Structure 1
Amino acid sequence: MSEDCICQFVIFGATGDLASRKLLPSLYHLQCAGLLPEELQIHAVGRRPWDDSGWLEFLREQLESFAGDFHPEHFEKFAARFHYVRGELHEADLYQNLAKQLTKDGAQQPERSIFYLAIRPQDFFTVLQNLSAAGFHRDGDYRIVIEKPFGNDLESAIQLNEQIHRHFREEQIYRIDHYLGKEIVQNLLVFRFANLPIEAVWNRNFIDHVQITVAEDLGVENRAGYYDQAGALRDMVQNHLMQILTLVAMEPPPSLEADTLRDEKVKVLRSIRPIPKTAIHAHAIRAQYGPGIIDHQHVPGYADEPGVAPNSITETFVAAKFYIDNWRWRGVPFYLRTGKRMPTKSSSVAIRFRHTPQQLFRETPIDRIEPNWILLSLEPESLKIELHVKEPGLEMRIRPTQLNASYRRDGEKELDAYEALLLDVLEGDKALFIRFDEVEWAWRAVDPFIKRWSREMDYIITYPAGTWGPEEATRIMDKEDQFWRNQL
């Protein structure tokens, strides 16, 4: 750990689903790996009427359920770091109690701390305002970690940012998108910029189009209250998919320092071609899953899920097309797609090259040579290049083959995205966190869809659960020979 490491870690919403499934297991795995500083103290904030022993019983239950490799000997050391702080987010006493716990004897102000807001977005400002009143403010060495969504549209995102900056500096804010913590996403930078043959063809002269897909086989589960207000566009496209798009399309940064990396990502977002009001339906389609079959089991449609509003037209599927108007990408469509209740859980980037310019094999049994692909799977991890080779035999026939460039060897453990990002927060490294101008320009890209769809409240097309979405999703594609790459 660096000398800048902050050794007080406060989790607001410590008894919530995000903390149970992601934060606590990730911190525990870092403990098992010996990557947490010895002096780190973790303060769990919740409303439940517990003392430390009640919290530790809950902590053990959650780790046994979600950590995957629970070891009692590691748990004892991990549990010794924790203190439970009971209180309501709107009550000033909670923050005064925190200030006392985080203040060293004789100190004038609380010790340097991380505050992780694993809470509802509508409670962000309440917590930040109370933290500032209790002595945690822009003049101190504090780090604020905020989970998405960062607003509900462009206007609300700007308002939220202004509220945050009343009490904290931009340098203190860590906006987290766990997709950026995935090793395979970071490997995309290495794949592009450390391999001359790849970077040389990574442009509009060679690439026909780019597809980015994030598919989920689950429905809304226990998130209906949030999801029915947000939908797939806000929940996935504006953040996860847009962040992947920037990494695929960005120019080589001069270094991997946080701001130089994020400057290049913002340039991509600012170069996205504005979509006219009259062209919304040519650039995007939304849909909602209906009843269907997944893993040989019948599942209900979205409208029948518990907690979903009657007659809801919230989209659970979005396919959208964007153009990046710069020297590298002018004219190349970027197709983004996400959906729930699809056949399998997967995340991928599929890059199709242009057709070869010479029909060298036109007088042979080869009728047509299909374009080459680069196939990057984020989940499960793989990186492949699809080429053509001659089939064995006397005739001139070809078949596709894949060169596997995946980097993980047998026995090498995958680092969870949250583990990587939590380490970066502790170290003060913001390279994989989102700056506000990234948030703003991503909202500008999708805001035309939000405004148009907010006026179309009568009808939404549906697709059967267990499929890859509605057939209409192909209508946004520019050419007849373009198709969604479902299998890699």
Structure 2
Amino acid sequence: MSDCNCQFVIFGATGDLACKKLLPALYHLHCAGRMPDELRILAFGRRPWDDKGWQDFLHEQLETYASNYQADHFADFCKHFEYVRGEIHEPESFVRLRALLTPEGAERPAGTIFYLAIRPTDFIPVVQRLSGAGFNQEGDYRIVIEKPFGDDLESAMQLNEQLHNHFREDQIYRIDHYLGKEIVQNLLVFRFANLAIEAIWNRNYIDHVQITVAEDMGIENRAGYYDQAGALRDMLQNHLMQVLTLIAMEPPPSLEADSLRDEKVKVLRSIRPIPKSAVTAYAMRAQYGPGVVHDKHVPGYQDEAGVEVNSVTETYVAAKFYIDNWRWRGVPFYLRTGKRLAAKTSSVAIRFRHTPQQLFRETSIERIEPNWILLSLEPESLKIEIQIKEPGLEMRVRPVQLNASYRKDGEQELDAYEALLLDVMEGDKALFIRFDEVEWAWRVVDPIIKSWGRETDYILTYPAGSWGPDEATRIMDKEDHYWRNQL
């Protein structure tokens, strides 16, 4: 499709997602020469602009959010765009859109992509309007949907049923931008292209796995959404669970979309169900209070604009899961995410078991620390931590890190949205989520959601600028397990 006369419609073209992610990603693809020459982009919004008004707005957003904005590329980039004023709840707006996309006598385009950069509550109304305008009939129509996909298992099932009333599964692209990160994709290469690594990637050698997504910012202006969702729905059920599947999956027979997604679903189906009576042993939640982040005093969650009085919405969640299959039986996977933490980082820390023999007990070495594989998603790095002897006459050891990071000096990082937008244009669904992945991820966390839904009068707090509540260690299996904050 990269060389076809394709079209791209952005619903919510003036919203935060479009301004911060989609428009900069499209601009970077244009500058890199990766955008199809004939790509036509229709920016759908409510504001009373003509194309000149849209271009002024676009220029302002790219100056703010594009990492390498150069004004000399802007004029050519604008040639791809048309602004379409419309209301997503008005059928007439979609009639006008239909006329623009398929003018009378014109050849039907090879592919039309509808990107729903809008509130989740507007997904179905837009899908229904598109269907009513005939966009789900003959032709190559693709619809891209951002998370969250439902807010529990029941709502996700209902949303999927309504989507399938209008579009086929092969037309639906459920996006999780974490899967577009190069370092996440490099995890597949690290595992399956290195025999020495894959041979020890199992319960015989690995003691436990930690997956962390920490943010130093608060909820910004998202109280309307976040106070209803919370950290479990916003991050753990999708982003962290997707990373878990890539760590734990078996080698797929190929890198085709369904082969990869089949193996990910097997992981989710193998996760041990959490007993209703034992949720507190598997998961804990907390909410940030006032504190200091990067030398700046910040308010607590309860004092953020738009947050309900006495809200018990979690801004921090830590949980553990067990994968009951041959490879991972008995290995805990610890997942945590939170806002207003000490630093912004996304990481995977894999700790290996202790050596089986205390060979150095009669030396100065009191304890041999286990090995680690440390994968940082943001900023990018991949390291292996081993023990070596310190220089000198005495037998002492210290840890060193072998840096396996793959990006060379001067090599530019590809943004996750750039990679995923290219995949949508080319019809490659390998890095997009099939509904059974969504369903089983909700099944995993549903006992936690239901348990917390009954606890509406109290929630733990932690000071902003910390690494979360001390109580987060209570879910860990052993005394020598601890959260790896620094890699």
TM-score, normalized by the shorter chain, greater than 0.5: yes
Q: Does 1:406 align with 2:405?
A: yes
Equivalence for 1:58 = 57
> 1:68: how far off?
2.5
> 1:112: how far off?
3.0
- Cα deviation digits, residues 99-125 of structure 1 (max 9, x gap): 111114425867630000000001000
Q: Does 1:18 align with 2:22?
A: no
Matches within 5 A, 1:173-322: 173-322=172-321
Higher mean displacement: 99-108 or 135-144: 99-108
The percentage of counterpart residues that share the same residue type is: 77
Partner AA of 1:310 in structure 2: V
Equivalence for 1:353 = 352
Partner AA of 2:368 in structure 1: I
| Distance in 2 (alpha carbons) for counterparts of 1:136 and 1:243 | 31
| Distance in 2 (alpha carbons) for counterparts of 1:93 and 1:473 | 52
Matches within 5 A, 1:23-38: 23-38=22-37
| Distance in 2 (alpha carbons) for counterparts of 1:185 and 1:147 | 19
- Cα deviation digits, residues 230-251 of structure 1 (max 9, x gap): 0000000000000000000000
Equivalence for 1:469 = 468
SS at 1:385's partner residue? strand
Do 2:7 and 2:109's aligned partners in 1 also have CA atoms closer than 8 Å?
A: no
Matches within 5 A, 1:40-79: 40-79=39-78
Do 1:102 and 1:111's aligned partners in 2 also have CA atoms closer than 8 Å?
A: no
Equivalence for 1:334 = 333
How many positions carry a matched residue from both structures?
487
Equivalence for 2:118 = 119
| Closer/same/farther in 2, CA of residues 328 and 203 from structure 1, 3 Å limit | same
| Distance in 1 (alpha carbons) for counterparts of 2:369 and 2:189 | 27
| Distance in 1 (alpha carbons) for counterparts of 2:467 and 2:473 | 11
Taking structure 1 as the reference length, what is the TM-score of the superposition? 0.98
| Distance in 2 (alpha carbons) for counterparts of 1:466 and 1:71 | 36
| Distance in 1 (alpha carbons) for counterparts of 2:169 and 2:208 | 35
SS at 2:395's partner residue? coil
Taking structure 2 as the reference length, what is the TM-score of the superposition? 0.99
Partner AA of 1:186 in structure 2: Q
Do 2:291 and 2:463's aligned partners in 1 also have CA atoms closer than 8 Å?
A: yes
| Distance in 2 (alpha carbons) for counterparts of 1:253 and 1:2 | 27
| Distance in 1 (alpha carbons) for counterparts of 2:106 and 2:264 | 41
Partner AA of 2:318 in structure 1: A
Structure 1 segments unaligned to the other structure (5+ residues): none
Matches within 5 A, 1:89-168: 89-107=88-106, 112-168=111-167
| Distance in 2 (alpha carbons) for counterparts of 1:46 and 1:425 | 22
SS at 2:156's partner residue? helix
Equivalence for 2:456 = 457
| Closer/same/farther in 2, CA of residues 111 and 86 from structure 1, 3 Å limit | farther
**Any runs of at least 4 consecutive aligned residues in structure 1 with deviations exceeding 6 A, and if so which?**
108-111
> 1:317: how far off?
0.2
- Cα deviation digits, residues 58-104 of structure 1 (max 9, x gap): 11111111112222221101101111111110101111111111114
Partner AA of 1:316 in structure 2: T
Partner AA of 2:252 in structure 1: P
> 1:7: how far off?
1.0
| Distance in 2 (alpha carbons) for counterparts of 1:17 and 1:432 | 23
SS at 1:83's partner residue? strand
> 1:330: how far off?
0.3
| Distance in 2 (alpha carbons) for counterparts of 1:316 and 1:460 | 10
| Distance in 2 (alpha carbons) for counterparts of 1:110 and 1:104 | 11
Do 1:385 and 1:402's aligned partners in 2 also have CA atoms closer than 8 Å?
A: yes
> 1:139: how far off?
3.9
Higher mean displacement: 67-76 or 400-409: 67-76
Partner AA of 2:309 in structure 1: P
| Distance in 2 (alpha carbons) for counterparts of 1:388 and 1:456 | 45
| Distance in 1 (alpha carbons) for counterparts of 2:18 and 2:107 | 31
SS at 1:27's partner residue? helix
Do 1:175 and 1:434's aligned partners in 2 also have CA atoms closer than 8 Å?
A: yes
Over the residues paired in the alignment, what is the CA RMSD in angstroms? 1.1
Q: Does 1:324 align with 2:323?
A: yes
